[in-house]
Structure 1
Amino acid sequence: MTATPVLTENPAARTSRPSTAPSRRNPLHLRDARAAWLFLAPFGVFYLAFLIGPTIDMLITSFFNTSLVKPGLGSFAGFGNYAEMLSRPDFWSAILATLQFTLYTVPPLVVVAFVFAVLTNRVRRGQWFFRLAFFLPFVLPSATISLIWTFIFTPGTGLWPLVESWFGISPGAGVLASPNTAMIGIAVATLWWTLGFNFVLYLAGLQEIPRELYEAAAVDGATTWEQIRYITLPMLSRTHTLVLLLQIIASLKIFDQVYLMTGGGPGISTQVVLELVTGTGFTDNRIGAASAASMLLFILILVIAVIRQVADRPSRAEA
């Protein structure tokens, strides 16, 4: 009579067997989730009240003949406000001026900020001074920046006409008084003002790159340019995308400097879309038409942002 073998369960197999008992969430995770939502709640309320809410209201208003001096939405216009804006020459002139300003500001604000960040990151002592020097103008209000640069470009008393006289150049009517140079003057003021923001983003990305990579490359005989090309640029690919996208959106939303420095002049050579919106809504009292122009600018920004993100997908997939 043969003995029946006793089957013993392997402890390793028992631990690897999936449990059929209902899973219970960790109370600590639930507490952390509640705390996170609690901290996000104030921002969420302001986000809904001052961004999402006004955007929905603007979308609704763009389909009505809403007036600033009459209560209510007014008569229904459908896509009439959009058709009117798309047929107005000053709207397309404002679009071109906005794109011109974007073209003048985005490349230098990205490239110069990157170069300054790379140079500052290589400084061993006194790096705080360069951080402060580059970022300090960004904390100043737009009105202060506009007054400073308007004074610099003022013929006769400004610094720029004095520099022109050193090189034997006649000052003429002034930088901001000429349709050919007014937008360039606004772009220079914006470059000096907002460079520090992109500079800080790049500097933060550079400090996340391990220094061992540069030391190993230097041991292998890599030059400074080769280290930047093969280490810095690839490691900052996400930072490049973030800075470029934020800068394009910020440049397309230009308003303060133009309104304070030139008022859209000379003529309408520097009139951007948001200034056209302000004039249509608060001077002509046509809130519906101004909302339609704002929505068209929103669509333009959204399309450019989507194109930029789609174009960046192959590079991120390769990385």
Structure 2
Amino acid sequence: MVWPIVQGLWMSFTDESLTLSGTDFVGFDNYAEAFADPDVWSSLGNTVFFTVITVVPLVVVALAMALLVHSGLAGQWVWRLAFFAPYLLPVSVVTIVWSWLYQPDLGMANQALDKLGMEPIGWLSDEAFAMWSIAALTVWWTVGFNFLLYLAALQSIPDQLHEAAALDGAGAWRRLFSITLPQLNRTTALVAMLQVLASLKVFDQIYILTKGGPNNSTRPILEYIYDVGFTGYRLGYASAISYLFFALIIIISIAQLRFFPRQEG
């Protein structure tokens, strides 16, 4: 495990290429180029935007789903299966289903708009909608994991707390905000941390659906690293970008670990 990390770090200081026989040490040139590369910043911006628009619904929707099932809804096992099942699907199946849903002419999304008398939308071909469309897919696909985490946390809250509050005259909404949600602070912190890290590392669904298009408007940083390394054959430069992104993830992880414990108290 250590050797690949060391080897990759060394490579980031060289001009390693798939098309060149020799390798020269270039110092921090790759890192300097990365900081000045507009494609790095645009791809990173796409990644951050995707993270922002997916993390919030992945937390809120998962919590709402768990509260709904935990409330004693009839057919709980059916709802649990329905909410969690998409998470079990491989990315290839998910993208095939949603690419059909987003088809310009025959897709269900545009057919629904047509029924409402609205113009069709290029869900994956229009820069204004492409990233939002992929975000919707991602939420549908992965929210089931967070749903299970929240449901397990809800089941661990002692019933006595709610019973005592009810005897004191607290209604359902007051019990939700004064008992349930505070008891879920640690779970919310965990879910948020996991989703931020997962969203920052997005690659598969975007690459399959749009390959970063249209006009690189959905290209995440990992896809740019892939393009630089395996399409542009510049392994050294790709390694440098990778380690800069790795450093960013470490910084974000440390910031989250320092922030969330303060919220639990």
Please give the range of the TM-score, normalised by the shorter of the 2 chains.
over 0.9
Per-residue CA deviations over 1:31-61 (Å, capped at 9, x if unaligned) read: xxxxxxxxxxxxxxxxx3xxx5433332222
Residue 43 of structure 1: aligned partner: none
User: 2:138 maps to what in 1?
Assistant: 190
- Matches for 1:44-63 after TM superposition, within 5 Å: 48=1, 52-63=2-13
Q: Name the SS for the 1:221 alignment partner.
A: coil
Aligned length: 265
Alignment map for 1:17-32 (pairs within 5 Å): none
> Equivalent residue for 1:226?
174
Q: Name the aligned partner's letter for residue 104 of structure 2.
A: P
Residues 83 and 220 (structure 1), Cα distance of their counterparts in 2 relative to 1, 3 Å cut: same
Are residue 206 (structure 1) and residue 154 (structure 2) matched? yes
Q: How far apart are 1:283 and its partner, in Å?
A: 0.5
Identity of aligned residues (%): 45
Q: Mind listing any 5+ residue stretches in structure 1 that lack a counterpart?
A: 1-47
- State the TM-score, normalizing by the size of structure 1: 0.80
2:190 alignment partner AA: L
Q: What one-letter code is carried by the residue in structure 1 that aligns with 2:108?
A: L
Partner of 2:202: 254
Q: Are residue 149 (structure 1) and residue 98 (structure 2) matched?
A: yes
Poorly superposed stretches of 4+, deviation over 4 Å: none
1:53/1:127 Cα in 2 relative to 1: closer, same or farther (>3 Å)?
farther
Aligned to 1:273: 221
SS in 2 for 1:233: helix
Provide, for residues 233-289 of structure 1, a one-character-per-residue CA deviation record: whole Å limited to 9, x for no partner: 111111111100000000000000110011100011111100001100100111111
1-structure distance, mates of 2:254, 2:243: 16
* 1:68 aligned counterpart, secondary structure: coil
Q: In the alignment, what sits opposite 2:40? A: 91
Q: How many angstroms does 1:126 deviate by?
A: 2.8
Q: Give the whole-Å Cα distance in 1 for the aligned partners of 2:93 and 2:183.
A: 37
SS in 2 for 1:190: helix
Residues 5-20 of structure 1 mapped to structure 2, 5 A cutoff? none
Q: Are 2:262 and 1:282 aligned?
A: no
Q: Which amino acid aligns with 2:41?
A: W
Whole-angstrom distance in 1 between the partners of 2:99 and 2:93: 10
Which position in structure 1 is the counterpart of 2:263?
315
d(CA) in 2 for partners of 1:170, 1:124: 38
Q: For residues 137 and 119 of structure 2, what CA distance do their matches in structure 1 show?
A: 22
Quote the offset at 1:196 in angstroms: 0.3
> Once the 2 structures are TM-superposed, how far is the Cα of residue 71 of structure 1 from its aligned partner?
5.8
Counterpart mapping for 1:47-196 below 5 A? 48=1, 52-70=2-20, 74-123=23-72, 125-172=74-121, 174-196=122-144
CA distance in 1, matches of 2:179, 2:3: 44
> Which secondary structure does the structure 1 equivalent of 2:118 belong to?
coil
TM-score in terms of structure 2 length: 0.95
Which protein shows a greater Rg? 1
How far the C-alpha of 1:125 sits from its partner, in A, is 4.9
- 1:312 alignment partner, SS class: helix
1:120 and 1:55 mapped to 2: Cα distance? 44
Distance 1:290 1:223, change over 3 A: same
Aligned-partner Cα distance in 1 for 2:66–2:3: 38
Going from structure 1 to structure 2, the CA distance change for 1:71 and 1:202 (only over 3 Å counts) comes to farther
> What CA distance in whole angstroms lies between the structure 2 residues aligned with 1:152 and 1:54?
41
Whole-angstrom CA distance in 2 between matches of 1:123 and 1:68: 59
The residue type equivalent to 1:61 in the other structure is: M
Question: What stretches of structure 2 of length at least 5 have no aligned partner?
Answer: none
